[in-house]
């Protein structure tokens, strides 16, 4: 039994990781700024501990990282609106706190599984993106890129700490993970925002003309991928894309949600600047290559977008009843 620390452990992905790791027989500590509602059902498990606290609390992190055998560092701000409105907070949590955690882990060579992002690749026009493809970003005056830059800098530190101090690590780059417990209805990322509008029978607001594309991977598939690379020795000191490869425009996503949920809302198109202001730039296409994780860990996603959306809609429908 390993003692595993999960920062952001009561968040979306973290809460699923807690469940899976407990089932595998590990001792799990979930550290999160939230009230722990997403892991409330685990509180009676003798092998589980929830700590309400911030990764910016250096004393707390020193104590918990030192006690851990393995660290999943998943705490982060990953909301595009907050990149634009709160760049300093994003940099403090996604970069400064991360660097402190990596320094602490490196002292004892405690393995880190680091949650990175598809935002790493910026707006590289050559899609799909492989893990070693170029990063193409906009101006540093555009707040939108602070999240990508914070995650990329953390990745550089992981390689540096391994080179100089032998820190073992694995990096996972997520491409739009979705599913039950993702965000509160109407906030955060595109699916909960659309679902609130659909469920309230309001017009569904689509930014721009809806032609920008993404891929969407169901949370159970994504967590399965994380666990495969986390416990795979040959995956250490490597970065892996985690996502599906089917390209879907935001307008197509809205239409599929409408069909699957049998909703009646109409669509309303609004300019990006009306939502995000002048400190935002959009990424036209975001598609991963997943050959590497297939090769290393024999992982492929198994849940279709339609099936995953059905499960997600069912969860959020129950939330509003």
Catalytic residues: 147
* 186 vs 196: CA distance, rounded Å: 5
* 24 vs 269: CA distance, rounded Å: 46
Give yes or no for a contact between 100 and 36, defined as CB atoms under 8 angstroms apart.
no
Reported as type and span, the H/E element at residue 197 is helix 190-199
Give yes or no for a contact between 49 and 21, defined as CB atoms under 8 angstroms apart.
no
The structure tokens listed for 71 are 């660290």
* 280 vs 294: CA distance, rounded Å: 34
**DSSP letter assigned to residue 130:** P
The structure tokens listed for 189 are 């990322």
3-state secondary structure of 28: strand
Cα 253 vs. chain centroid, distance in angstroms? 19
């Amino acid at each position: 039994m390993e003692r595993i620390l999960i920062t952001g452990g009561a968040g979306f992905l973290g809460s699923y990781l807690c469940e899976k790791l407990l089932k595998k027989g590990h001792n799990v500590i979930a550290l999160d700024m939230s009230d722990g509602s997403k892991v409330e059902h685990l509180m009676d498990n003798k092998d589980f501990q929830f700590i309400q606290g911030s990764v910016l609390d250096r004393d707390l992190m020193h104590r918990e990282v030192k006690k851990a055998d393995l660290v999943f560092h998943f705490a982060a701000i990953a909301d595009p609106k907050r990149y634009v409105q709160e760049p300093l907070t994003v940099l403090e949590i996604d970069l400064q706190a991360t660097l402190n955690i990596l320094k602490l882990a490196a002292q004892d060579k405690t393995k880190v599984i680091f949650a990175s992002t598809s935002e790493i690749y910026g707006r590289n026009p050559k899609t799909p993106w492989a893990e070693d493809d170029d990063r193409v970003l906009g101006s540093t005056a555009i707040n939108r890129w602070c999240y990508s830059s914070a995650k990329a800098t953390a990745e550089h530190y992981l390689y540096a700490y391994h080179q100089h101090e032998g820190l073992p690590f694995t990096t996972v780059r997520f491409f739009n993970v979705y599913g039950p417990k993702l965000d509160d209805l109407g906030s955060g990322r595109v699916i909960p925002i659309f679902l609130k509008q659909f469920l309230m029978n309001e017009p569904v607001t689509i930014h721009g003309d809806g032609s920008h594309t993404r891929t969407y991977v169901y949370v159970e598939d994504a967590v399965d991928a994380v666990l495969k690379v986390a416990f795979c020795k040959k995956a250490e000191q490597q970065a892996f894309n985690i996502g599906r490869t089917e390209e879907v425009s935001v307008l197509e996503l809205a239409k599929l949600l409408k069909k699957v949920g049998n909703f009646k809302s109409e669509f309303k198109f609004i300019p990006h600047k009306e939502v995000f202001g002048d400190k935002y730039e959009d990424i036209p296409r975001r598609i991963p290559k997943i050959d590497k994780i297939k090769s290393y860990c024999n992982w492929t996603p198994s849940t279709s977008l339609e099936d995953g959306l059905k499960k997600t809609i069912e969860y959020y429908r129950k939330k509003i009843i």
